Chain A
Amino acid sequence: MPSWQDFQPFIVTGLALGGVYALSGVGLVVLYRATGVVYLAFGAVGAMGALIAWSVTNAHVQAWVGWLACLLFSGAVTLGYGMLFGPALSKRDPLVKATATLGLLLVLFGLMDLLWTTSGGQSRAITLPTDNSGFIIGQIQVTWTQVIGLAAGFAITAVTGAFLRYTKLGTAMRAMANDREITATLGVPVRRVEAAAWLGCGLLAGLAGLLLADMVALDATTLTFLVISALAAALIGRLRSITLTLAAAIVIGLVQNLLVPIPSLSNYNDMTPFVLAATALLVLSRRHVIARSREET
């Protein structure tokens, strides 16, 4: 069994990753509540954004231009998808809407491999200026990037919570989560609210993509499927509570990383989000009685 000291650096990485999972999870939850779509392409969009940022930097342009490009790309693609396919699918089952986003995932996945093929064995990396500076707590080294990761998770959760509760747009989003049709009849500009949700989620995807590319790896497959960790947190939050999503995300990040120094479990640490999400889903299902009859009284 490793010592406390062996665990320490993994607490930091766990918290940092957890923070990024949290901001991703919050994005997923808000979009789901506003549109009924579980945005499975979240990771893919962020991945491609990160690759675009890499290409920009690789072309010897200022780094911040790359980051901007990443955010613009993720925001635009997500908004575009939402405006193009949202209306056509708005009345369909959430399962259909989620499956449709898999279509977007495949398109992006194919594009990424086409444009940034990894068959040459070349590995890429994104580095942020905050990687190289940091401080020491006790015996642990902490980089500013990791602080940003964790802080962003908390900040986004707090800001989103305030936004949903105190602004007109946020209240409209909450109303739509309950019933899109009724909200529309109340005169709420439904399309505009949805557009805001899609755009916001897209921007978060870009941010998460950059941070994860920095912290984990700049690899299309890895980044695309890291959405599962965020999704796991969102599911534990029952696709409804952003504070629960935040808590779950931190736990997932911590557990996933704390397993690494334990030799017998190290190989299985990536199972953490899958196992936690599956358990959450099964526990959730106990509350439902029977498939709801679609009629009202």
Chain B
Amino acid sequence: MIEVKDLTVRFGGVTSLDSMNVTFEPGTCGLIGPNGAGKTTFFNVLSGFVRPASGSVRAFGDDLLSVVHFRRARWGLRRTFQTEQAIEDLSVYDNVAIVHEHARQRGTARRRDVLDAISFAGLDVDPHAKVGTLGAGQRRLVELARAVVGRPKLVLLDEPAAGLPDEETRNLADVIGRIPSRTGALTILVDHDMSLVSACCQTTAVLDFGRLIASGPTAEVLRDEQVTRAYLGTADVT
């Protein structure tokens, strides 16, 4: 499980994360909140792109923030980004294999692990095909394959279905739902699509202005008045 204590991030005059305290249980957790709430900033802290002003993150007993950013993949961190980052000039196989080889997994099992990840993601394409020739939905699946290859401990998905039509979103939801059972990894899903979050996540945490305002079983959280207010705003003050 992941324990976040008093995490604070400041950019110039803006406090993106304000003493964020939250615990993520094993399984798939949603992380929602209005735009600017700090969700991607939180992911960037976990990835090591942003140094927090204060606070700590304990993941499976390890002090994650003390690990150098590029070594976190070896530790078991995987991540997808809001804008598609599958490498167009490389093949599907190479895209997934690159994560495997740099996360320093054993070379002999590489072919098997990579092909397993590709089929887990439900990608029915020639692994030699260049990602540049694939459609948007398939590219997102390539990113998912990259997120599950090897032995991930923590999988971060940042709006994995952004820009996809409903059917492909449902397909993606299905794959995401199977991640914990296949890899044992704790998955955190950031998205604005509430049906995706309800479908995949057992628990959900809600951020607003860099602070946690609710967390618990997904269905309850989505009904919480505070959460609706944060998204929609209210006419009255307090």
* A–B contact via C-beta, under 8 angstroms: yes
Instruction: List residues of A whose CB falls within 8 A of some B CB.
Output: 289-297
Q: How far is the CA of A294 from the CA of B16 in the complex (A)?
A: 16
Q: How far is the CA of A165 from the CA of B140 in the complex (A)?
A: 47
Interface size class of B (residues with CB under 8 A): 10 to 19
Residue of A nearest to B42 (CB): A297
Residue contacts A-B, CB under 8 angstroms, 7 given: A290-B50, A290-B69, A292-B49, A293-B49, A293-B81, A296-B40, A297-B37
Q: How far is the CA of A111 from the CA of B16 in the complex (A)?
A: 53
Q: How far is the CB of B9 from chain A (nearest CB, A)?
A: 10
Could you tell me if A297 and B36 are in contact, using CB atoms closer than 8 angstroms?
yes
Q: How far is the CA of A292 from the CA of B47 in the complex (A)?
A: 12
Q: How far is the CB of B71 from chain A (nearest CB, A)?
A: 14
Contacts of B35 in A (CB 8 A): 296-297
Give the secondary structure class of A's interface. loop
Residue of A nearest to B69 (CB): A290
Q: How far is the CB of A182 from chain B (nearest CB, A)?
A: 15
Q: How far is the CB of A159 from chain B (nearest CB, A)?
A: 29
Contacts of A293 in B (CB 8 A): 40, 44, 47, 49, 81
Question: Do A289 and B37 form a contact, CB below 8 Å, given A294-B83, A295-B81, A297-B16?
Answer: no
Q: How far is the CA of A200 from the CA of B83 in the complex (A)?
A: 38
Residue of B nearest to A289 (CB): B51
Could you tell me if A290 and B37 are in contact, using CB atoms closer than 8 angstroms?
no
Q: How far is the CB of A149 from chain B (nearest CB, A)?
A: 37
Could you tell me if A289 and B49 are in contact, using CB atoms closer than 8 angstroms?
yes
Could you tell me if A290 and B40 are in contact, using CB atoms closer than 8 angstroms?
no
Q: How far is the CA of A297 from the CA of B37 in the complex (A)?
A: 7
Q: How far is the CA of A292 from the CA of B81 in the complex (A)?
A: 13
Residue of A nearest to B38 (CB): A297
Contacts of B48 in A (CB 8 A): 290
Residue of B nearest to A296 (CB): B40
Q: How far is the CA of A6 from the CA of B38 in the complex (A)?
A: 61
Q: Which 5 A-B pairs have the closest CB atoms?
A: A295-B82, A297-B40, A290-B49, A297-B36, A297-B41
Contacts of A291 in B (CB 8 A): 49
B94 within 8 A of A: no
Could you tell me if A295 and B83 are in contact, using CB atoms closer than 8 angstroms?
yes
